[in-house]
Amino acid sequence: MSFTSIQCSDHGEWDSKANRWCAVACRILNFSTSLADAFAGDCSIKLCWRFPATFSVANRYPVVGQMWSNETVKDFGYFDKIKFWGHNDALPGVKYKYGVRGSVRKPCESKTRKHKGKRYPNPYSSDMRFDMSIKNIKGQKAHGYSSPLFVGDKRFNSPFHLYGDSYMLKANRTENAVQLDSTQSPLQNISYTMRFTPSVSFELGGENISSKAVDIFAEGTYNNETGHLCMMGCRYVTQSGAEVYKNGSMDCEIQINIQLHPLTGKGNEEIKGTIESTRARSDPLYFGKLDLVSSSIYVEQANESIWRMDLEIVIVLVSNTLACVFVGLQLFHVKKQPEVLPFISITMLIVLTLGHMIPLLLNFEALVTNHNRQSVFLGSGGWLEVNEVIVRVVTMIAFLLELYLLHMTWSARYSDDNPKGLWVSEKKVIFVSLPMYISSGLIAWFIHQSRKSHRSPFLRQGHLGYTVPANQLARYQPVSFWGDLKSYAGLILDGFLLPQLLFNLFFDSSVEALSRSYYVGTTIVRLVPHAYDLYRAHSSAWNLDLSYIYANPRMDFYSTAWDIIIPFSGLVFAVFIYLQQRFGGRCILPKRFRGTPVYEKVPTVGTIEL
């Protein structure tokens, strides 16, 4: 039987000893969209709400109740007893009773050893809650989360808040600074709620539980010196495809072992564990071992990422501003000495202009295609969005300045007073550099294709610390083709002096076409990201991929090898330009390759004339 609405009468009472409220309810009849024509019908419905004062592994719900009909089976309006429960916060003063289904303290004590020099999460901190991926012996996967319910006799206060289909955490910098009493045992009683849901077919104990959530209620101990969680768990079993929430329908022979990674561990460390049935293989409720893996981050790591993001915001703004300043110094240089304009490589200026234009176009493309995507929340408020706008504005200014310098050089090159051979040398530069750019671009594209085909992430990141769409929880998002194009444009910009070096070589020019402040300063701006990436790799053990703003190591050309090769090449180019502008374009070549000097024939002076 189904009914649309019921109304409680004044015949109800509160039992303070049992924390129970019971009342008589009436069915509302003739109710559709308005209460104008509705009226109370049969009042033979009774219901009771109970608010347990004690939690246990068998009783995890702060509100439980039931509703039944006072009529007989033959009467109209009769229905079977209905049970319900709520997930709201428990009432103040609620305690947890351990050991209802047995204790696991002794087995855990014999299996754990203290790890010297390593710190593990405080049992009262939000680091104890984590997302997880589950894989059974057949390789089938499910995703879910684990969260403490009680730590000792204290209710676990989680700082998580649900917004739509995402979770958000405001990192607390002092959360793990709370010191535990050194006189206490490192073992702490703890109870957990674990839930995972398979997205496809998933077998558990001979039963296919596709797309159905599995809840495991566990209790045991946590060792804050080793980061080891050891618990016994209970799960509800099914009967005829329907869950029956009774004590008799719980399987409480489940052993859970989880090892948390250290707070200051190395990068990409994971929480790992197992969920195993302690029943005999012949038992119908037996299931194979489940492997548990989690990539969730700690609050301390989130704080580190927030601090690094703030630093990178400043570096990005300073670098882009300096780039504009150095282009302005070059414009000032050519204003004072306009005769040097024809000797600037147009190919170099085109490379610089395109190098600033491509990021602007790609940023616009990302803004258009991802306008419905939720942003990553790391506690920085709207500062990230403001920074993004400022960076685009500064990049646009640098692009316009480079475009203006290109226009001036192009116009000066067509002057009749210029030496012959400038365009011939420029064509040689194009013939040499263009195949290099195309071939290296194809190599970068093939690298992108190979990386894309080998990416099949098993882990997911979700609830802890960030706002991520529920259907996009992959921790490692593949770099798109446009992202690879952007990184390749950055590589071309790193070697922006190559066309000018070739131009000076072919024309054998010793004209100081580029000011020292321009090519030295721009080179430094291009090399700083690689130096910073080296520093970051050696100074920080852990970083979140999604939080990189400056020198993203997920790009193709940020690694230890590239961070050495690119700065070295850039500095060599800058030294060669300095030598060329002082001693001639071919001074960097061995003497036998510099060409034969051309002598001008002059008339001789006779003795008589002398």
* Burial readout 346-361 (b: 16 or more C-beta within 10 A, e: otherwise): bbbbbbbbebbbbbee
H or E, element range at 242:
strand 242-243
| pLDDT for the residue 181 | 53
CA gap 545, 481 in Å, rounded: 18
Q: How open is the CA angle 134-135-138, to the nearest 5 degrees?
A: 160
CA gap 216, 256 in Å, rounded: 10
At 550, list the tokens.
Answer: 């400056």
Cα 282 off chain centre by:
44
H or E, element range at 195:
strand 187-198
Report pLDDT digits (tens) over 78-132. Answer: 888 888 776 655 566 778 888 755 545 555 654 556 666 788 999 988 889 999 9
Q: Distance of CA 203 to CAs 132, 217, 529, Å?
A: 18, 19, 49
Identify whether the C-beta of residue 141 lies closer than 8 Å to the C-beta of residue 302.
no
Q: How open is the CA angle 377-379-381, to the nearest 5 degrees?
A: 80
> Which of 268, 320, 316, 319 has the alpha carbon at shortest distance from 294?
268
CA gap 78, 74 in Å, rounded: 7
DSSP output for 254-295: EEEEEEPPPTT--TT--EEEEEEE-S-TTSTT----EEEEE-
Q: Distance of CA 94 to CAs 19, 98, 126, 320, 578, Å?
A: 11, 13, 20, 57, 77
CA gap 342, 340 in Å, rounded: 6
pTM of the model: 0.64
At 581, list the tokens.
Answer: 């502008």
Identify whether the C-beta of residue 392 lies closer than 8 Å to the C-beta of residue 363.
yes
Cα-Cα-Cα-Cα torsion 26, 31, 36, 41, nearest 10 degrees, comes to -30
CA gap 124, 158 in Å, rounded: 9
In the DSSP assignment, the letter for residue 545 is G
Name the amino acid, one letter, at 565: I
CA gap 413, 588 in Å, rounded: 25
Cα 437 off chain centre by:
32
Measured on CA atoms in the order 413, 419, 421, 422, is the torsion positive or negative?
negative
Low-confidence ranges of the chain (pLDDT < 70): 1-11, 30-36, 86-92, 100-116, 158-184, 238-248, 265-268, 362-385, 416, 444, 447-485, 540-549, 551-556, 593, 595-610
| pLDDT for the residue 493 | 83
Report pLDDT digits (tens) over 521-550. Answer: 999 998 888 888 888 877 765 555 556 667
| pLDDT for the residue 162 | 35
Cα-Cα-Cα-Cα torsion 28, 32, 37, 41, nearest 10 degrees, comes to -20
Report pLDDT digits (tens) over 321-355. Answer: 999 999 999 999 999 999 999 999 999 999 888 88
CA gap 163, 151 in Å, rounded: 26
Q: Distance of CA 137 to CAs 134, 180, 359, Å?
A: 10, 39, 46
CA gap 316, 294 in Å, rounded: 32
Give the E-state strand segments of 472-590 in sequence order: none
* Rg of the chain over all Cα atoms, to the nearest angstrom: 36
Name the amino acid, one letter, at 427: K
Beta bridge partners of 272: 259, 293
| pLDDT for the residue 163 | 34
Q: Which residues lie below 8 Å from residue 521, measured CB to CB, with a gap of 6+?
A: 322, 325, 326, 329
Identify whether the C-beta of residue 582 lies closer than 8 Å to the C-beta of residue 574.
no
**Three-state DSSP state, 197:** strand
CA gap 99, 191 in Å, rounded: 11
At 315, list the tokens.
Answer: 């570096």
At 595, list the tokens.
Answer: 């060409």
CA gap 42, 331 in Å, rounded: 90
Q: Residue 245: left if φ>0, alpha if ψ -120 to 50, beta else—which one?
A: beta
